[in-house]
Structure formats: structure tokens, C-alpha cells
Amino acid sequence: MTTPHAQQTTDTIPHELEKATLEGRNKVLTFWLFLGGESVLFGTLFATFLTLRNQVADGPSASELFNLPMTAAATFILLVSSLTSVFAIQAMHRGNKKSLSGWLSVTVLLGLAFLILEIYEFREYMVHEDYSMTTSAFSSAFYTLVGFHGAHVLFGILWIGILIGQLAKKGLNVVTAPKIYVSAMYWHFIDVVWVFIFTVVYLLGKVA
């Protein structure tokens, strides 16, 4: 039996450390399945949004509301963060712990920047436009879909943040590697969801 904390030198590290143990493989597999469930979750939210997107009641419509340059900037930031998380995993596969935690930190910072932009956006609508959850069916659907995504980003930031701490404390091994790998999968997933949100909510809202 291998003990999880056995000292490993770089050349004994298996290429895919995250899949070196049954537990690690189980984690990765189950996370794929979990993302299947998450897809249904966001799919339902998108369907709801599409049903209600023109039901603006007395409130503003999407084209009156949205500020595309800012959302485009947020989109760009989030996409770059996906790229940096890829670099992180590559560093992990090379067994380079320092570079790994570096790239993870960049990812977290970019996520944070995205979140701040989003909070700023929501505040603008709520304070300056007096546009809230209760304004119309469209507003409810908008805040719920985008807010759900935002909550996912927040969770991802906290999660990866904790993993960076773990990495510092426990090092890179068969226990931490699957966690990091899975959190990167999660991060890509919320990026992909955001691409859909940007297209369906913002771009489509602006042209309609």
C-alpha cells in the first residue's frame, strides 16, 4: 500500500498524478458526472430566462440596460483565467509546485476581478436604475441566472484559494492532485457557462 504522504521526487511522479489512485480516479469521474447535473441546472435556468426575457413589465428592457463594453471586459478576464488554470494543470503535470500555486493564484485573482465587475454592474442597475429582482419577470430571470453563475464563481474562488493553502501545507501528492485537477474542471465549466450567458443574455439582449 502506498502511503499518501510518501516523499516523492520529481522523477517518480506519475505523469497524471490526479489519476494515480482509485480514489483520485473516482473523484475525477464523479466530477464529470456532477458537471452533467450542473448542466441540467444551468439549462433549466437558461430555459427560464429565454421564456421570460421579453417580459419586462414596466421596467427597462435588456437593450436599454446593458453596458456591453464592461461585460465584454469581464468575459475577457474570465476566459484568460481559464487559460491560466490550464497553465496550472500543466505545471502540476510537470511536478512544479511553485509554478502551480503561482498560476492558481493568478486564476483566483482574475476570478476576483470578474466578480468585482459583476457586483459593480448589479449595483449600477439596482441603485441608479432602481432595477431589482421585483421589477419584472425579466429582471427576476436575469438576476437569478447571472447571480447563480456569480455564486459559482465565488465558490470557485474560495475553493481554489483553500487548495492553494493546502498545497503549501501538504505539498503536491496523490491526495491534493485530484482536488486541484477537479477544481480546474469546475473552473472551465463556469467559464463555458459564462460564454453562454454572454451570448444569450447580453449579446442577444442588446440586438433584440
Partner 1 sequence: MDWLTTVDHKKIAILYLVAGGFFFGIGGIEALLIRVQLAKPMNDFVSAQQFNELITMHGTTMIFLGVMPVIFALMNAVIPLQIGARDVAFPFLNSLGFWTFLFGGLLLNLSWFMGGAPDAGWTSYTPLSTNAYSLTHGVDFYTIGLQIAGLGTLIGGLNFLATIITMRAPGMSFMRMPMFTWTSFVTSAMILFAFPAVTVGLVLLTFDRILGANFFEVSKGGNPVLWQHIFWIFGHPEVYILILPAFGVISEVISTFSRKRLFGYSSMVFATILIAFLGFMVWAHHMFTTGLGPVANALFSIATMLIAVPTGIKIFNWLFTMWGGQIRFTTANLFAAGFIPTFVMGGVTGVMLASAPADYQYHDTYFVVAHFHYVIVGGLVLGLFAGLHYWWPKMFGRILSEKLGKIEFWTFIIGFQLTFFVQHFLGLIGMQRRVFTYLPNQGFDLMNLISTIGAFLMGVGVIVFLVNIGITSRKPVGAANDPWDDGRTLEWSIPSPPPEYNFKQIPLVRGLDAFWKEKAAGHTEMTPSEPVGPIHMPSPTILPFVMSLGIFIAGLGFMFTSDDFGNSFLNFIFNNYIVTGLGLAVTFGSMLLRSLFDDHGWHIEEDELNGKGVKA
CB of 161 to partner 1, least distance (A): 11
Please identify which residue in the block is written with the cell numbers 427576476.
140
The length of the chain, given as a count of residues: 208
121: nearest Cα among 67, 76, 157, 75 = 67
Q: Which is nearer to partner 1, 65 or 74 (CB)?
A: 65
- Which three-class secondary structure string do you get for 58-80? CCCCHHHHCCHHHHHHHHHHHHH
What is the contact surface with partner 1 in residues (CB under 8 A)?
Answer: 1, 4, 22, 25-26, 29-30, 33-34, 36-38, 40-41, 44-45, 48, 51-52, 55-57, 133-141, 143-144, 158, 162, 166, 170, 175, 179
Residue 79 C-beta: closest distance to partner 1, Å = 25
**Residue 78 in grid coordinates:** 474570465
Tell the smallest beta-carbon distance from residue 42 to partner 1 (Å).
9
The CA distance from 106 to 204, in Å, is 31
As measured in angstroms, the least distance from the Cβ of 201 to partner 1 is 16
Is residue 18 a contact partner of residue 177, using CB atoms and an 8 Å limit?
yes
**CA trace torsion 138, 140, 144, 146 (10° rounding):** 40
Look at the alpha carbons of 146, 159, 90, 106 in this order and tell me if their dihedral is positive or negative.
positive
Identify which of 54, 74, 28, 71 has the alpha carbon closest to the alpha carbon of residue 141: 54
